Chains A and B, each alone.
Chain A
Amino acid sequence: MENCMLRDDKFMDHGFMKREPKNTLAREHFENGKMNSISLLLRSNLRFSSIHNKSVVAYSSQAAKENVTIKKKKPISRAMRAYIDRVKQFEENLIVESKEYSDGKRFLANIMGEDPAHFTPKDVDKSVEYLLPSGLFQKLARPEMAPPEETIEKAKFDINGRPFHFLFYTGASHLYETQFETVKRINRAEKLLEQIHRKGHTPEKENKMDLVTSEWQDISEMEKTINESIRDDHFEQTMQALERLAQHPMSGHFKDFLMNYRKATTVNMTEMVFPEIQQDPDGRYSVQHTTKRKTAVATVTIRSPGEGKFVINGQPGLLYFSDVGAREHVLFPYQVTGLMEKVDTEVTVEGGGFNGQSGAIRYATSLCLAALVDEQGRVKLQLAGLLRRDPRVKERKKFGKAGARRGYTWLKR
């Protein structure tokens, strides 16, 4: 152990390795004996002391403190003056521009014959579109009027020219900050997991974040969130980091952070409109709804309570469909809500093939059942993707092609 710091004889011969300890502490040891000092340095049971635990001598000596002189410093460098000028100019510009905007808004309101006090930015857009109609395709090329706070870029430095953001010099400060914050949380999550493992437990499922009810924002939404344009490769990097945090067993602790970059998959139920429930003369509740899928149109009437009777176009049961997939399609909403044998169903369907018809029936049934069940049942239906109209239709045939895309068989001439 003690030999490991001894010099190689080779280097001694070359002579570039001669040294004397300059440090006073080291010199003391040197005088006591070199071997001793080395063994001191190399003691294997050395504790790794943190530098903050070291007692630190007061850093500015009293003599130096007494000499503190305070003066008004006059000279200012060219660069500094440029910053100050720019900041001043920016502030002046903003005042002028905002005055112009409010004047223009009042003028517009007068032209349109409306009250200037209650003229909103939306009204401004409308009136500009009306007064200056433009045939230009690109929306950015059309005339517009916006408040200066939106169009003028905000200053990124303070009056001394110091940038506000600690990653300013990277050029993509907010994106890199997101990555920085994510990695910090991953490290923290690892520590939490380690604590649990050390106790001999395994992390509970509740510690992991529920990733079903929300999904990641796409690149344009992310740009709005962090208020910065993002390159594709940078976005991928960031998503990788975020995904790693989200998949971590302890991700539930960082839900608030992750939800900044996620959006809810469930639409607000209060906004959705469900078919009305009516009461029949026999005392049963009934719901009726008509929906489409491809070219099929289905009208479904559900009566509750019932015995699970099923009639499609006058045919009992699911015999109307010979295709097994179509039968499963139709039964899926009942399986989700658990109302399989608790309601009676009557269906009239026309147009389309068996796939379109079964899809139309499924959608109409789901909406009717959603009207009958409670909030929890609706969420189940939504998560199963049943409360959404399937917008896909057959793609038209193109000329020069056998179908929509398929080419004719190539014949050698």
Chain B
Amino acid sequence: MAMALPSSLFSFAARVIGLRQTNGTRWLHGAKGTLFSVRGAGETALQSDQQLSNFEDEDLSTPDIEVDDTLEHKDFFGVRKLCTPSLLFQHKVHFGHKATSLDPRMRQFVYGIRSNHVIFDLDISNFHLQEALNIAAHVALRDGIILFVARLPHCANLIEQTAKDCGEYAHVRQWKMGCLTDISKYQKMECRLPDLVILPSTVSEFGSEHPVVAEAAKLNIPTIGIVDSNCNPNMITYPVPGNDDTLTTIQLYCSLFKEAILRGKAERANRLKLLEEELSKDQETRLSKLKSMSLKLNK
């Protein structure tokens, strides 16, 4: 279908529709009533409601917050207002690599070529970045584990600091194969996998694709990745076309994602507080009922 359309129509909107149909996004934007799920903490989208009921266990049930209402809102956390094309331009997001290294799969995000360097279309980048920020905030709201992965020696400290500041996790060191796919062997214990991987740069130290991209794809972990003009965006759930090695650019990404995650967490804390209040109220009423009953019995 897309082939039959004139190339000018193979544009932004068409790509957005295409993106929405990828595996990672289907269960988020898909049929109403589907839970936005967080691996480990919640359920995978593949599990139907019937399967869910099998897991019910009265003893293990813990009160948790209800967050489904947030999905109906287009920009619940207001993170889309955080970034604008002009902001991205100030932080040099539009600079790509040399035109000779342009990956054909990145052509859709390119505005043009100047001095033999690729220039990204910042309207497109901005849209994808907004989408990514929204997802990050939603995952944070659902208590998902967010892992920052990159192989940028000059930004390693910054990325680790960002992860620490927003109470999430970072891996900017040498990546061992099977760090996620074989985690029980690697960590010598069973442990929870991350629910979202954020890649400020998808390039590994050898110039090839970072191995975490393949590992996360195998495990169906959604990824947010800044893809430069020489990268492959196809394996990444939420690709954001943009410059991936300038310090100011990485600083921008880090501060934006930090803000989004902190907003998600603040909302979570808010709702947990409300839940606690409600639970204590419930208990009070139950206690008062018990009291009245015992009084009646004594009489």
Q: Which residues of A contact B (CB under 8 A)?
A: 4-8, 10-11, 14-23, 25-26, 40-41, 46-52, 54, 56-61, 64, 67-84, 86, 156-157, 160-163, 166-172, 176, 180, 183-184, 187
Contact = CB atoms under 8 A, between A and B. Distances in A.
24 contacts: A4-B114, A11-B113, A16-B10, A17-B110, A23-B123, A25-B85, A25-B86, A49-B90, A52-B259, A56-B82, A60-B76, A64-B76, A67-B69, A70-B66, A75-B55, A77-B55, A79-B40, A86-B190, A160-B143, A166-B164, A166-B169, A168-B191, A180-B157, A184-B161
A126 B170 CA distance: 46
Given A26-B123, A72-B63, A170-B171, A79 B112 contact: no
B192 A79 contact: yes
B105 interface: no
B107 A16 contact: yes
A169 B8 contact: no
Given A7-B111, A20-B12, A46-B90, A70 B52 contact: no
Contacts, number: 209
A59 to B, nearest CB: 3
Contact of A51 (B41, B77, B126, B259): B259
B87 interface: yes
B298 interface: no
Q: Which 5 A-B pairs have the closest CB atoms?
A: A59-B78, A161-B192, A73-B64, A7-B112, A18-B8
Nearest to A186: B157
Contacts of B169: 163, 166-169
A56 B78 contact: yes
B84 interface: yes
Given A72-B64, A163-B169, A82 B190 contact: yes
Nearest to B145: A162
B282 to A, nearest CB: 10
A55 to B, nearest CB: 9
Nearest to A55: B81
B209 interface: no
Contacts of B10: 16
Contacts of A47: 90
Contact of B81 (A7, A49, A56, A171): A56
Interface of B: 6-8, 10-12, 39-43, 52-53, 55-58, 60-66, 69-70, 73, 76-79, 81-87, 89-91, 107-108, 110-114, 119, 121, 123-124, 126-127, 143, 145, 147, 156-157, 160-161, 163-164, 167-171, 173, 176, 179-180, 186-187, 189-192, 194, 248, 252, 255-256, 259, 263, 267, 271, 274-275, 278
A157 B191 contact: yes
Given A70-B65, A171-B186, A180-B160, A51 B87 contact: yes
Given A11-B113, A59-B263, A167 B170 contact: yes
B111 A171 contact: no
B57 A76 contact: yes
Contact of B12 (A10, A19, A64, A156): A19
A171 B66 contact: no
Contacts of A75: 43, 52-53, 55-56, 61
A169 B90 contact: no
Given A15-B7, A80-B41, 15 more contacts: A18-B11, A46-B90, A57-B78, A70-B271, A70-B274, A73-B63, A73-B64, A74-B57, A74-B58, A79-B192, A81-B55, A161-B192, A166-B170, A183-B156, A184-B161
Nearest to B278: A70
Contacts of B163: 166
